[in-house]
A and B are shown apart, each in its own frame.
Chain A
Amino acid sequence: MVSVTTTAKTKGSVSRNGDSTAVSPGTLKDELVAYLRQDREKLRGEWVQAMTASDHLWLDSLTSAEQQLEPVKIYDACLDCLESGNYRGAKEFAERMARRAAVGVMSSERFLGGMLKLRDVYGHSLFRRFLKEPDRLNDALGVFEPVVNQILVIVAMAFITERERVMHQQQEAIRELSTPVLQVRDGLLILPIIGLIDSDRARQLTEQLLDAIREFRARVVVMDITGVAAVDSKVANHLIQTVDAARLLGTTVILTGVSPATAQTIVTIGVDLSRIQTVGDLQGGIDLADRLLGYRVIAADPVAAPAPGA
């Protein structure tokens, strides 16, 4: 289909060069619109049939009421674009379909395939209409093709944009989930850090911590970095900034979970963490925090309680 159109166009443009009585695009456009509108029932039937015949049956994923309605809406929207030169209608249905594709109800591949089929149906009908007049066919394609291309670009972009939006949303969700700030006792928060720390995440983590400190009126925070695989000077600097910011709110921060490998790296690369209070593991950190806050944990049943270090 595409190759045929291209050939016809090349031939047409050669012949048109000598032809000064070309129809102005405006009237031709009106004629096209009138023609496609007049035959809309038939052409829409062809379109749905073409989609049914191929694998591009995105209609499957619609309710039966929508199956009747959507092809009509889309067909008319495309005609409106051709008539008015305004692509708001195309944008509107493209976004509507993209939202469905994003939630997994409809495959974007199928919908795009369906839109290409619609282009084919329009193209075929133009060929039939202007079979006897190659020059006018060329002019008609010249009017029709840019509009169709623009609509297809809009549809494709709507799908991409929607997918990006969903991905962004999910990333946000993962980021928020990945840095929980937990209250263990009155005045004591735990901040387990897992995964990579870049400057974005460090900033977000610090913001969350500071908000939590204010909300829970925390006096001590235990920051556990057992889950941080690699600590370089940048990461260490982020940690120091977080500790300093928390301190400005009057909170003491205890750093725990510095693995032997991390300790070696930190000292070897010459990062000074001596301003931060560090304890080996989370348990030790909570013990120290309890002492600072004036808590003492006593076994209610000394027989049942596990012996320390067991």
Chain B
Amino acid sequence: MPVPILAQAPYLIASVQSALTDADLIGLQNGLLDQAKRRRCRGVVVDVTALDVMDSFSTRTLQSLAAMLRLRGVETVIAGIQPNVAMAMVQLGLSMPDVRTALDLDEGLAYLQARPHGSAGRGQ
């Protein structure tokens, strides 16, 4: 199932609803890059609250997505990683050191709003 991308100017919200196939991930990446350009947005929140698995491919795709968006001055926040998903990711060595994370969508948007205007930072 493709991931819906919601526009909440000047941000984009990608709300993941179900387990992601590799094709969905690539679709998400293309969709976000495309819309970020068209809507001239400053930040993206990818909400993964509904995900109960994060494998190496999805982690890497999200990491490179964040790096690609950063090149266009867009900051990416991954929001809503579940505690047990976080445990599993850390044990698999997928700790996404360069990506900004947030507790949930609310916190993610709050972080983006609190950030000074201008270029995107380097995560934490």
Neighbouring B residues of A210 by C-beta, 8 Å: 83-84, 86-87
Which B93-107 residues have C-beta < 8 A from chain A? 95-97, 100-103, 107
Which B40-93 residues have C-beta < 8 A from chain A? 77-79, 81, 83-87, 89-91
Interface size on B, residues (CB 8 A): 23
* Cα–Cα, bound, A159→B24 (Å): 58
Q: Tell me if A214 and B101 are in contact (CB < 8 A).
A: no
Which A189-248 residues have C-beta < 8 A from chain B? 203, 206-207, 210-211, 213-214, 217, 219, 241, 244-248
Q: Mark B97-124, 1 if CB is under 8 A from A, else 0.
A: 1001111000110010000000000001
Neighbouring A residues of B89 by C-beta, 8 Å: 245, 248
Q: Tell me if A245 and B86 are in contact (CB < 8 A).
A: yes
Which A241-277 residues have C-beta < 8 A from chain B? 241, 244-252, 275
* Cα–Cα, bound, A235→B123 (Å): 26
Q: Tell me if A248 and B103 are in contact (CB < 8 A).
A: no
* Cα–Cα, bound, A252→B97 (Å): 12
Neighbouring B residues of A249 by C-beta, 8 Å: 81, 83, 86, 101, 103
5 residue pairs of the A-B complex, CB under 8 angstroms, read: A210-B86, A211-B83, A244-B90, A247-B95, A248-B78
Neighbouring B residues of A203 by C-beta, 8 Å: 87
Determine the residue in chain B with the shortest Cβ distance to A214. Answer: B83
A207 and B87 in contact, given A250-B103, A250-B108 (Cβ under 8 angstroms): yes
Q: Tell me if B87 and A247 are in contact (CB < 8 A).
A: no
Q: Tell me if A251 and B87 are in contact (CB < 8 A).
A: no
Neighbouring A residues of B86 by C-beta, 8 Å: 210, 245-246, 248-249
Q: Tell me if B87 and A250 are in contact (CB < 8 A).
A: no
Q: Tell me if A245 and B90 are in contact (CB < 8 A).
A: yes
Neighbouring B residues of A206 by C-beta, 8 Å: 87, 90
Q: Tell me if B95 and A244 are in contact (CB < 8 A).
A: yes
Q: A219-B103, A248-B101, A249-B103 are in contact. List 12 more A-B contacts (CB 8 A).
A: A203-B87, A210-B84, A210-B87, A214-B83, A241-B90, A244-B97, A245-B83, A245-B87, A250-B77, A250-B79, A250-B102, A250-B111
A250 and B107 in contact, given A210-B83, A211-B83, A214-B83 (Cβ under 8 angstroms): yes
A217 and B103 in contact, given A241-B90, A248-B90 (Cβ under 8 angstroms): yes
Neighbouring B residues of A214 by C-beta, 8 Å: 83, 103
* Cα–Cα, bound, A275→B96 (Å): 12
* Cα–Cα, bound, A248→B84 (Å): 11
User: A247: which of B77, B101, B108, B111 is its contact (CB, 8 Å)?
Assistant: B101
In the assembled complex, the CB of B53 is this many whole angstroms from the nearest CB of chain A, namely 14
Neighbouring B residues of A211 by C-beta, 8 Å: 83
Q: Mark B15-41, 1 if CB is under 8 A from A, else 0.
A: 000000000000000000000000000
Neighbouring A residues of B78 by C-beta, 8 Å: 248
In the assembled complex, the CB of B14 is this many whole angstroms from the nearest CB of chain A, namely 16
A248 and B95 in contact, given A206-B87, A207-B83 (Cβ under 8 angstroms): yes
Determine the residue in chain A with the shortest Cβ distance to B110. Answer: A219
Neighbouring A residues of B79 by C-beta, 8 Å: 250
In the assembled complex, the CB of A21 is this many whole angstroms from the nearest CB of chain B, namely 71
* Cα–Cα, bound, A250→B97 (Å): 11
* Cα–Cα, bound, A210→B84 (Å): 8
* Cα–Cα, bound, A217→B97 (Å): 21
User: B107: which of A217, A244, A247 is its contact (CB, 8 Å)?
Assistant: A217
In the assembled complex, the CB of B109 is this many whole angstroms from the nearest CB of chain A, namely 12
Neighbouring A residues of B111 by C-beta, 8 Å: 250
* Cα–Cα, bound, A206→B86 (Å): 10
Of A203, A245, A248, most B-chain CB atoms within 10 Å: A248
Determine the residue in chain A with the shortest Cβ distance to B91. Answer: A241
Q: Tell me if A252 and B95 are in contact (CB < 8 A).
A: no
Q: Tell me if B103 and A251 are in contact (CB < 8 A).
A: yes
Neighbouring B residues of A252 by C-beta, 8 Å: 124
